[in-house]
Amino acid sequence: MFARLFEGVSQQEGMMGVDWAGPVAAVTRRNVLRLFSAGVMANVLSGCRHDWPPAAACELPYPIVDVHCHFFNAADVPVEGLVRYVALREKLPEAKLSADPLQSKRLENALVVFLVTALGDVAPKAKAEDAILKKRVPRPSDAEFERRKDEQLRIAVKQLVALAGEQRASLTARSGAETPDYQGLLEQIGGTPGLPQGLQRRSGSVEEADVDALASAAKAHEQIGNYLSFVRLMQDYRENLAETYARIFASKCRFSMITPSILDFEKSIGGRASPQHDQIDVMDEIQQLVIKRHGIHMHSFVGFDPHREAQKRGSSLENVRYAIMEKGFIGVKIYPPMGFKAWGNADPKIDAALKRLYDWCRGNSVPIMAHAENSIGAGCGYGNMASPAYWKKLLDTNRYNDLRINLAHFGAFDEVIRPGAPTGVMVSCAQDKFSGPPTWEDIIGKTIGHGRRPNLFADLSYLSELVTDNTPGLHEKIRALLDKWLRDYDPDARHLMFGTDWSMMALEKDYNAYVPRIAQQLKEANVSEEDQQNIFWKNASRYLGLDRPGPTRQRLATYCRKRGLDASWLSQLEIA
């Protein structure tokens, strides 16, 4: 589940950012900086062509609203963070790189460096893509773009061979619990059938033909190849990500509306990313393309970072205002695991920054989406900051009961299914574990208070535990817990919403079948056809403020008219 992505870092003294302390981090930092200084990461971030899975059969007779998805690329988030906290999520797909936990950790740490190098800096910056979409500059040919992707993977292979050679020469290849095992990773790749044996033991350099062979072997590797596919996805144009989404999910299902969100992580995990203003502009262009090409209405969520806002009042809130009032955005996305709580922070400046956001959203009828699963923590125990208990604390002030809130990533019930288990592979401390009961789902249910808070919602995005995880008995456990939750807290199913969390879902096998599999699991959890309609679109309409005439519909209608788009669709989401 996307909820367990950002583990393995801690807060540096005096600033929010990645603490690269420790032998693994030191190696990662040293080699990444060496790559930058050598200039080899200038043409990096694309990737090779990928054959995306076909659209799965979909028989839902009603429209679908996806309240939680993403079309950002690797230029929109710090590259090291994208690899360490997004690509390397809570577990490697299907199997570890080694049955030995310590060896697996060393291989994973080597994989971080390999994937950072494979990503590089090739992904189109937001400003550059915006200029292309506005036809101010020509777009590079597909052949040239693919060539850059292929070349960057070759650079990563050469770097891996060099690092393995350095380790052999210094006799540190497998010493230390945290030391990246470059030699071991090279052997994993080199052991792929069809690769000349003994290649992985060469010293420091390889022939060009061997580089090609290693690159092909890495893509064919069951685990490593999965991450390289995600790397290639993150290297693409945002326009292409939207097109891929439409082809995989919407060509068979009847999608009415999607609300992708952009991120603002620079102050929390360090590194550089396309400025928020530029990301807003390019998403405005893509919103127009998606409706014209596919008939899917797309209105995005803008990121808000209270750290940025606390450092300079108005800096993050101005991005929110610009996106919502001028660029057709529909809501705001925040990430508490980046180092803050929804309410009750030790630093009063953070609460003051959040209060400005909450007041502005309440006054302008703008919904907020928050990451609400114990994961993606940018420091020791930071995943716990996403707890819905802090939203309950905010709502208990009775000042924000009319604020529409979505607590994302509902449904894994980790606190009773996996109590005491680490929240991810690359955890940073003992606090990065799932607590026992109550579940975060139960906290949300009690906060809803049997309909007392009709504006509090949760989404079922990236619920891989219920869809793609085939652990024996897991689906039955989650369905039983979901059935009980609905009976105890939400008998009319008016608070749960559907979301894919694509493109993050691309890390999972068979993600193209997410929609029909969620529908089937809901049916097996005794969710009625009427209640499924609530989950798949009606609750989203209520949450987004489209169920009746009001400020949101007025803003979107004005946006559509200014861009020559039909605004009559807004009435189709009205609920009597």
pLDDT band at 431, cuts 50/70/90?
A: confident
What percent of the chain lies above the pLDDT cut of 90? Answer: 63
SS3 331: strand
Sheet holding 301-303, edge to edge: 301-303, 331-334, 368-371, 405-408, 456-459, 496-497
Q: Which residues pair with 371 in a beta bridge?
A: 408
pTM of the model: 0.87
Tens of pLDDT, residues 235-261: 999 999 999 999 999 988 999 999 999
Which 8-state DSSP code applies to residue 458?
A: E
565 — phi, psi (to 5°)?
Answer: -110, 150
Which 8-state DSSP code applies to residue 54?
A: P
Residue type, 20: W
Tens of pLDDT, residues 384-418: 999 999 999 999 999 999 999 999 999 999 999 99
434 — phi, psi (to 5°)?
Answer: -75, 130
SS3 43: coil
Tens of pLDDT, residues 462-501: 998 888 888 899 999 999 999 999 999 999 999 999 999 9
**Three-class DSSP labels, 312-333:** CCCHHHHHHHHHHHHCCCCEEE
Tens of pLDDT, residues 132-142: 999 999 999 99
- Find all residues with CB under 8 Å of 558, minimum gap 6, and list them: none
Residue type, 388: P
Look at residue 93 in the predicted model and tell me its pLDDT. 41
- Find all residues with CB under 8 Å of 185, minimum gap 6, and list them: 97, 107, 110, 111, 114, 160, 164
Q: Is 365 left (phi over 0), alpha (psi -120 to 50) or beta?
A: left
* Contact by Cβ (8 Å): 249, 55: yes
Look at residue 94 in the predicted model and tell me its pLDDT. 47
Residue type, 407: L
Q: Between 514-524 and 474-489, two packed helices, what is the crossing angle to 10 degrees?
A: 70
Strands 301-303 and 331-334 turn out to be parallel
Which residue stretches of 72-203 are H helix?
Answer: 79-81, 101-119, 126-133, 142-170, 182-190
Q: Which residues pair with 158 in a beta bridge?
A: none
Summary mean pLDDT of the chain: 85
Rounded (10°) CA dihedral 505, 508, 512, 516: -90
Look at residue 205 in the predicted model and tell me its pLDDT. 59
Q: How far is CA 236 from CA 72, 80, 87, 119, in A?
A: 9, 17, 15, 11
For the record, the structure tokens of 487 come out as 């009976």
Look at residue 86 in the predicted model and tell me its pLDDT. 63
Tens of pLDDT, residues 209-230: 889 999 999 999 888 888 899 8
Residue 207 has pLDDT above 80, yes or no: yes
Measured distance CA(289)–CA(243) in Å, rounded: 9
Tens of pLDDT, residues 555-569: 999 999 999 999 999
Read off the pLDDT of each residue in 542-547 and give the average, rounded to a whole number: 97
